[in-house]
Structure 1
């Protein structure tokens, strides 16, 4: 996985319509805690755009990054924000979700290391500890990057840090993190005095990661076995 596109995902089940004189209740679950990527939702809510369309929208934060798709499939929420690779895995596992809109067209997700670190390329992560954001696919991506760069993927130690990507790096609990966004975690880390080098998650060379992105759907199962 290289380009991570945040998508709206709707559960496939149908909901009964609200009475004509009542706003239709819609529950949206974010992919992460609120940040700049979600600003359009909060702006629409604050300015009354949802109400103008007859919608009573509730925006929720997940307790776990893996929850949105599962809850949408279980009909416990109406719409979930999630990532393109997660959708592919869900469909492969026959989880009934459907992508119907793109929020971010280019990857924001990066592998980040402190600017003072000696880690200069993916192979340098061998023997290091990498924190990831509860999504198992991130582990496979990092190991694949290391292997493609000529390193030893089995020597990479991965730790699930959940939402604590920033503390993991600032407190030096990890040598690198994966899952942080260039427009959020990177900016906050720099604000806290920890400048980082951020690298797109490429599995093989290609302009803007397009070569790898196109091959993603065919590699999902192999990546999950790494």
Structure 2
């Protein structure tokens, strides 16, 4: 018997007791002494024993019902936390160097960190830091030399993560040119603001003074400038991918790394924030860097699967040139994006002072931070 049926049975017993205890003429045994006159009707009466039984049932204390052990109604779903939106501008058009961002998006790392990340490609390579300084975007990608130079010029920039922790640029020229000492004449193409410094430093090692008139800003069209023989060399911020692309076009090139020709080692690709917004964005940046780190480690552990996911989600990256450059690029990705090497930034500051680009060195804390500190 279930607990809910006990009160019902008790109520039925009460009704039955009252009915059985009620007697009326024609229902009870006939009284031989009663008047035979049908007009003489006896008053109905209740059996005293039935009344007592009914009273006992009424006064009996009902057993309490046990609490329900389950509910037929499904629980209300728990709403996921709202996603924090971040607008991030790339330093170049979408390329292999952005693999951690693509993989983090496709593998759900951003979602798990409650982030909605919008990746934007710039119309011009000089646009990202300008928009960041104007607080029209949240974060921007760039290079360590760029950070030093533009912050010295008054841009409120600060490094918050490193995505490629070694120099990735340098001079790229046609294979039939003997070497850097052959660049005493002719024009050099560049696409980003810190490239002239790199080119001047590298040629100074060969005793060549590079006049500003020999530098041509070609923005995104560095490969076309070299293919069309408009210039003798290009200052490539990401030389290996450009070299692979030119090889696919039929032009063999030679790459001279910047760090082997006069420049101190530097971070080849960094993430920058606005100094005045850093405190408010710190938690979001921590979550973002965690997502990028997990995507990078997965790519290192599963390079073929990472390549397949990369080109499936971004078909424009699926080329023979990028396939050849993928192992090189993968080896350059920073496995600890948040980690900061203060000595590296101090050395580059001293280098800029020696080159006459700065009056004095600045504290590293003005230039770069570890978002987890």
Instruction: Judge same fold: TM > 0.5, yes or no.
Output: yes
Q: Secondary structure at the match of 2:145?
A: helix
**Does residue 1:176 correspond to 2:233, yes or no?**
yes
* Root mean square deviation of aligned Cα: 2.7
- State the partner residue of 1:153: 210
Q: Distance in 2 between matches of 1:65 and 1:84?
A: 15
Q: Counterpart of 2:119? A: 59
For residues 85-104 of structure 1, the aligned pairs below 5 Å read: 85-104=145-164
Shift of 1:114: 0.6
Instruction: For 1:43 and 1:170, locate their aligned partners in 2 and report how far apart those are by CA, in whole Å.
Output: 32
Conserved? CA contact 2:226–2:233, under 8 Å: yes
Indicate the larger mover: 213-222 or 24-33: 213-222
Given that residues 130 and 175 in structure 1 are in contact (C-alpha distance below 8 angstroms), is that contact kept between their aligned partners in structure 2?
Answer: yes
The structure having more radius of gyration, on CA atoms, is 2
**Secondary structure in structure 2 of the residue aligned to 1:198:** strand
SS at 1:153 equivalent: coil
Matches within 5 A, 1:15-164: 21-118=81-178, 120-121=179-180, 123-135=181-193, 137-154=194-211, 157-164=214-221
Q: 26-35 vs 42-51, which deviates more?
A: 42-51
Structure 2 Cα separation of the partners of residues 206 and 77 of structure 1: 31
Gaps of 5+ in 1: 1-19
1:187 to 232, 235, 244: 244
Q: Compare 200-209 and 75-84 and name the one that shifted more.
A: 200-209
Alpha-carbon distance in structure 2 between the residues aligned to 1:214 and 1:148: 22
Report the CA distance between 1:202 and its aligned residue: 4.3
Q: Which has the larger share of helix?
A: 2
Q: Which residue of 2 aligns with 1:11?
A: none
What is the TM-score normalised by the length of structure 2? 0.49
Q: CA deviation at 1:204?
A: 5.2
Aligned residue in 2 for 1:9: none
Cα separation, partners in 2 of 1:74 and 1:148, compared to 1, 3 Å:
same
State the 1:124 CA deviation.
1.9
Q: Distance in 2 between matches of 1:69 and 1:111?
A: 24
**Aligned partners of 1:44 and 1:209: how far apart in 2?**
25
Give the counterpart of 1:218 among 338, 350, 354. 350
Count residues with an aligned counterpart: 202
- Quick check: 1:112–1:197 contact (8 Å CA) kept in 2? yes
Unaligned runs of 5+ in 2: 1-79, 268-343, 359-373
Shifted more, 155-164 versus 30-39: the winner is: 155-164
Please list every run of at least 4 consecutive aligned residues from structure 1 whose deviation after the TM superposition is greater than 2 angstroms: 151-156, 202-210, 212-216, 218-225
Q: TM-score, normalised by structure 1?
A: 0.79
Secondary structure of the corresponding residue to residue 103 of structure 1: strand
Report how far residue 91 of structure 1 moved: 2.1
Judging by fraction of residues, say which structure has more strand: 1
